Amino acid sequence: MSLGAMDLFQNVPPEVSVYEVSPRDGLQNEPIIVPLAGKVQLIEALAQAGLKRIEATSFVSPKWVPQLADAGEVIAALPKIEGVTFSALVPNARGLERALEVGLPEIAVFLSASETHNKMNVNKTIDATLDVFREIVPPAIEAGVRVRAYVSTVWGCPYEGDIPVAKSVRIAKRLVELGCYQVSLGDTIGVGTPKKTFEIVGAVLSEMQRDQIALHFHDTRGTALANAVIGLELGIRTFDASVGGLGGCPYAPGASGNLATEDLVYMLHGMGVTTGIDLDKLLYAGQVASQVVARPLSGKVHQAGTFKLRKV
């Protein structure tokens, strides 16, 4: 018996939204502080490549993330581009206040599925963090601002190991009930495998709608694209990515960072999935990213380029 491509990928959505996180999730892990002009240049290059959802910065305390201390200046310097939504990470009510002051149409909140990791990251229990979100999410929505949420360590925690899938599902449901329009599930330390991804995403889909879920993979062990394919087959339509694979995880030494946007887009286009992204312009954005952080980046397509058939 032979199977055709349509048999294998019959549930893959025809169109996918790529949520670009490099200006925030990427730059916040860099050892150097990128100047304001470099951040704006990167974000503009990403928008020119066709990315419509870009997380530009974070309104966390500069004491904790000095790389993003210029959050307000970054937002103020960004051009108004039709169809492009810029967002920022917001940890508390003060962060929301700053986001509202600069007129952002969307924000994101974050917590971990691991109690230990959450305490290490934000110095609060999961329940206490959700209490803080009640001071952020409803007021943001009332002000006309959409709210997205991240749940990290869903695939595994550097302190606790495996996280019960049911726990991640409960947290994701609570975030949606609070008013978050989408929950991004994160493999923070890049331990995911396709079988585990099938189990996790399937469990979440049993309780939530597909459009309420996004997937955020790290390529620490080279399995990010394989996990993304499982998400696609299950009908997920939003994937987070970072140009060039910019970023990393402080809990996984040698980690190659986020799933590279170029790698994801190259794969999607090869599967006939529409993204609205110009891959050549995206490669240029990756070059800009490499220049502003002054180091080579790990993305495979960033390094190798696209494949074009040569005439003989």
Catalytic residues: 249
CA 286 to chain CA mean position, Å: 16
Structure tokens at 65: 């993330």
* Tally of CB atoms within 10 A around 231: 25
One-letter amino acid for residue 250 of the chain:
P
* Cβ-Cβ contacts under 8 Å for 21 (sequence gap 6 or more): 55, 216, 240, 241, 242, 247, 258
Among 282, 279, 242, smallest CA distance to 259 is for 242
Among 19, 36, 21, 27, smallest CA distance to 75 is for 36
* Tally of CB atoms within 10 A around 43: 28
Structure tokens at 186: 């994160």
Q: Distance (Å, rounded) from C-alpha 173 to C-alpha 180?
A: 10
Q: Distance (Å, rounded) from C-alpha 203 to C-alpha 198?
A: 8
Structure tokens at 85: 């939504």
Burial string for 51-76 (b: 16+ CB within 10 Å, else e) reads bbbbbbbbbbeeeebebbbbbeebbe
Among 73, 84, 183, 68, smallest CA distance to 137 is for 183
Among 105, 111, 157, smallest CA distance to 130 is for 111
